[in-house]
Structures are given as structure tokens and as C-alpha cells.
């Protein structure tokens, strides 16, 4: 669902079918949010300089077949207790369809895989940390006396046999490269889903190219999932961010947690990586969802988070540009 493109050449892009007035549907604020998001992700591995990122983002948004927010049904008026959030075309499926159409064309023409969402360093951190989290979970080392997860296993030689039994789902898989890295770490039952057919076509092509044909890729919308199985590990890298940027973001976030509560079995783990939400905000999001489901008790509870991301200071507060948080399904 989420991803950043390689710098396109005019001949490399599939031109999306857009109405003549499509550019008029995209506000200056939308362009600014998209360009800023492009810049944030680039600091974790982008091949584009700042000026080119903003030019490229503006060109893509101008040519995309985007619908106005009025084209979507909304229940916001019926939900006075959910807060309004900033929206962006990055929350629309039409944006990602156009993006991955371009990525797929670039792959067929030049062999480009597309850019790694959040960058290579973040992906490596997520994969290594998640691997150790799962090994500790398999071996019963889940919590210390303070209630936090204790990750004691650091050796690549430990727990490999445990990982091969884990069923893994990557929601909003994009080009599927995160699953490639998980496969290298010993996970074998891997599935990636995305609501963009272009993303799934690209992911399948890349998996074949890299000899990872055992990975299953399916077109599926996490908000209206048709998956009928459950997965011991579910990973989301950027999908929750995109959902929150939709004009109906607050409602769709509730749908997101409802779907995940069905896909993650009791004792299973959910790992969410976000650039739009801090660790505390993600934990609060889950707490809010649990409170809405008081009749059935807590659904997810905080397990652990990555503490090794570079931090920055802003307005006197220290934090990370990216957060990765794990939750346990009760």
C-alpha cells in the first residue's frame, strides 16, 4: 500500500487515466503533505535530493486520478468522539494505483524494484528486532518483572527452527521487499496483501526474480479483508499511516483494528511501524480501541518497541521519526 518511487523518466511511467480536472481536486495543502512525507522517508535511504523529491511528488499528484473527499461515504457526523486529522491524497487508493503502475513499468523497462519504504536501515532494524521478538515468544521469554518484553536472544544461530513454523502476514505489502528480508531470516510461511493490483503484480515479479516463489501475494483490502485464516505474526509498515490520511481516516482506523483482531489469533503478535505516529500514540490508539470493545475485554496489549532508532529534538521533546511497536493479541 505504501511506498516511494524511483525518480521517473517520462517514458517510464504508465499514464493513469485521470479526468481533465484531476489536478483541481488536489489542494496545495495535499501537495505539501505529500512532498513533506516524501522528504521524511528519503532520510532513511532515498536516492532523490530534496528539490527533486518535491518536484516529483507534485508532478505525480498533478497527474493522478484522485477523487474528491465528497466521493466517499462518511460516518464522521455520527462519530463526534473521534478527532479530526489532517488528510492527504496519500490516503487514497487511486494514488497508490497510479504509483505502482509507474513502479511496475519501471521494473519491466529497467528492472527497478522501487524504493524501500522508510529505507533499508529501518527495514533491517524491524526484521532483526521482530525475529528476536518471535524467538523469545516461542521460547517463553516474553516479559520481565516490569511487564516489558525481555529480548535476550541475539544470536542468529538460535531459534531458526522456531521461525519456520510462524505464519506471517504483511498488510499493505507494496513491492513485498520486507517479506524478502524476513525469508532470509528463516521465516517461511509468508503472505503479503495489498489493495493495489499493481503493487501485487510488482511484488510477484520481484519474488520470482529473487527466487522467492514460495511467498504468497494476494490482492486484499485490510479494511474489508477476505482472508479467512489467522497469522501468528502480522506486520504493518506504513499502511496504518496511509489509512489515517484518508478523508474518512478515523472511521477507517476502527475498521483496521477490527480486521486485525480477526487476523491475529490469541497469543499472536502485531508489529506496526509508523512515521506519522509516535510509540505513545500507537499505544494510545490501541488503548482507545480496547475501551470501545469493553464488552469483550482488551484485544491487543503493548508488548515492546524498538529503542534504537535515531532521535531528534523538536519543541523541547525528544523522539524518533519512525516508531515500531509490537502488540500481543489477548
Q: Name which of 85, 68, 89, 64 is nearest 76 in CA terms.
A: 85
- The pLDDT of residue 147: 44
- Report the pLDDT value the prediction gives residue 266, as an integer from 0 to 100: 96
At 161 the pLDDT is 62
pLDDT tens for residues 164-177? Answer: 999 999 999 999 99
pLDDT reported for residue 194: 98
- Confirm if 3 and 103 have CB atoms less than 8 A apart: yes
pLDDT of residue 160: 55
Contacts of 317 (CB under 8 A, 6+ apart): none
Q: Minimal CA–CA distance to 263: which of 293, 295, 300? A: 300
* pLDDT at res. 140: 80
Q: Which residues contact 52 (CB under 8 A, 6 or more apart)?
A: 7
The pLDDT of residue 206 is 97
Helix (H) or strand (E) holding 302: strand 300-305
Q: DSSP states of 97-127 as a string?
A: HHHHHHHHHHHHHH----BPTT-HHHHHHHH
Q: Which parts of the chain have pLDDT scores under 70? A: 1-85, 141-161
pLDDT computed for residue 2 by the predictor? 42
The answer to whether 200 touches 220, Cβ cutoff 8 Å, is: no
Q: How far apart are CA 270 and CA 83, in angstroms?
A: 24
**What is the overall mean pLDDT for the chain?**
77
Angle at Cα 260 formed by Cα 36 and Cα 248, nearest 5°?
45
Amino acid at each position: 500500500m505504501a511506498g516511494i518511487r524511483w525518480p521517473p523518466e517520462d517514458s517510464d511511467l504508465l499514464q493513469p487515466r485521470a479526468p481533465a480536472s484531476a489536478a483541481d481536486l488536489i489542494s496545495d495543502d495535499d501537495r505539501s503533505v505529500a512532498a513533506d512525507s516524501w522528504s521524511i522517508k528519503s532520510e532513511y535511504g532515498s536516492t532523490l535530493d530534496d528539490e527533486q523529491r518535491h518536484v516529483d511528488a507534485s508532478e505525480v499528484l498533478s497527474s493522478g486520478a484522485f477523487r474528491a473527499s465528497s466521493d466517499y461515504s462518511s460516518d464522521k457526523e455520527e462519530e463526534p468522539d473521534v478527532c479530526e486529522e489532517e488528510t492527504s491524497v496519500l490516503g487514497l487508493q487511486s494514488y497508490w494505483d497510479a504509483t505502482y503502475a509507474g513502479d511496475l513499468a519501471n521494473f519491466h523497462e529497467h528492472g527497478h524494484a522501487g524504493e524501500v519504504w522508510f529505507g533499508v536501515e529501518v527495514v533491517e532494524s524491524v526484521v532483526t528486532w521482530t525475529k528476536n521478538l518471535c524467538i523469545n515468544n516461542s521460547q517463553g521469554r516474553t516479559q520481565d518483572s516490569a511487564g516489558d518484553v525481555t529480548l535476550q536472544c541475539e544470536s542468529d544461530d538460535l531459534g531458526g527452527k522456531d521461525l519456520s513454523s510462524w505464519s506471517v502476514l504483511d498488510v499493505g505489502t507494496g513491492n513485498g521487499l520486507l517479506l524478502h528480508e524476513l525469508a532470509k531470516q528463516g521465516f517461511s510461511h509468508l503472505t503479503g496483501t495489498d489493495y493495489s493490483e499493481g503493487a501485487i503484480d510488482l511484488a510477484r515479479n520481484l519474488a520470482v526474480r529473487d527466487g522467492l516463489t514460495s511467498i504468497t501475494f494476494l490482492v486484499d483490502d485490510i479494511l474489508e479483508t477476505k482472508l479467512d485464516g489467522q497469522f501468528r505474526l502480522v506486520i504493518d509498515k506504513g499502511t496504518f499511516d496511509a489509512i489515517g490520511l484518508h478523508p474518512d481516516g478515523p472511521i477507517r482506523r476502527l475498521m483496521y483494528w477490527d480486521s486485525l483482531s480477526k487476523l491475529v489469533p490469541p497469543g499472536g503478535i502485531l508489529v506496526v511501524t509508523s512515521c506519522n505516529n509516535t510509540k505513545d500514540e500507537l499505544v494510545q490508539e490501541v488503548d482507545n480501541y480496547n475501551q470501545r470493545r469493553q464488552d469483550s475485554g482488551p484485544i491487543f496489549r503493548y508488548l515492546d518497541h524498538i529503542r534504537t532508532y535515531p532521535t531528534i529534538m523538536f519543541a523541547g521533546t525528544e523522539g524518533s521519526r519512525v516508531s515500531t511497536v509490537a502488540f500481543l493479541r489477548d
